[in-house]
Amino acid sequence: MTFADGNILASRRVPVTTIIINRAEVKNALDAKTARGLAGAFQMADADEEVRAIVVAGTGGCFCSGADLGELAASGGYLPWAGGDGPLAVSLSKPVIAAIEGPASAEGLGVALFCDMRIVDETAAFSAASRLWGGPTGDGTTVRLPRLIGVGRAIDMVITGRTVAADEALAMGLANRKAPRGATRTEAEKLAHQIAELPQTALLADRRSLYDGLDRDGAAAIAHEVALARAAYGPEAQAGVTRHVQRTSGNVRLLRV
């Protein structure tokens, strides 16, 4: 399936949908049309009951270099990506994994941070590069980045625009895993399928609790977690517990002898 006249591609292999930014000629920069297409692809995948995980990648060895500066220069306008009808204003209920090769810069960093996990190869490069030409973020970076890597590291990136390469990104928690060069999409899709095979009710409840808890104090966050856990502990969880006990009961008896 295509969006934005082919600038966004969506490959559906149940239970995973892979969304691909397809503007290699401009390092996958997103103009307004492509940004709306990205949002539409996210929403389509999230609404698909057969899809359990989403992968986001770019073509041509580049994840996303940010907003299309040519369009911005010509229009004089600015799309706040994380608000209004921006592509990062959508709220997804399913795990999203970014497969990052090459630049994830400016608003491309915002797209990477929008995802739950980031798999990189040795070419990956993260930066709040809009700092270098005087642009603001508006893509959620100043909110999501410090929550992920801490205020000290985040402010360094945000006020200098410096580039963080793959190994440093892994060390600071900006990236989760490293793949061989050129294999990030393959590894991200493999991980997405592994996640999709897990019991989903509790997984999604815990994912929601983790994010919701960021905006609550400790007691309120725990109360919210407990409420979600009670709602999630149904037949799927009970069946899983029973299977686990049956598989491990023999080992337990041996340990007790």
| CATH code, domain with 142 | 3.90.226.10
pLDDT tens digits, one per residue of 48-59: 999 999 999 999
Same domain, yes or no: 158 and 251: no
Same domain, yes or no: 129 and 243: no
pLDDT tens digits, one per residue of 149-160: 999 999 999 999
Same domain, yes or no: 75 and 145: yes
Task: Give the torsion sign (CA, 10, 57, 63, 208).
Answer: positive
| pTM given for the model | 0.89
What is the band of 252 on the pLDDT scale with cuts at 50, 70, 90? very low
Residue 250 has pLDDT above 60, yes or no: no
Tally Cβ neighbours within 10 Å of residue 197. 11
pLDDT at 83: 57
pLDDT tens digits, one per residue of 16-29: 999 999 999 999 99
Same domain, yes or no: 47 and 164: yes
pLDDT at 227: 85
Same domain, yes or no: 252 and 173: no
Number of domains in the chain: 2
Same domain, yes or no: 25 and 131: yes
Q: Which of 14, 130, 150, 10 is nearest to 72 (CA)?
A: 130
Same domain, yes or no: 147 and 241: no
Q: Among 197, 221, 238, where does a domain finish?
A: 197
Q: Which domain holds residue 61?
A: 2-197
β-pairing, 117-120 vs 96-100, is: parallel
Same domain, yes or no: 188 and 246: no
Cα gap 64→76, rounded to integer Å = 21
Same domain, yes or no: 143 and 209: no
Same domain, yes or no: 176 and 228: no
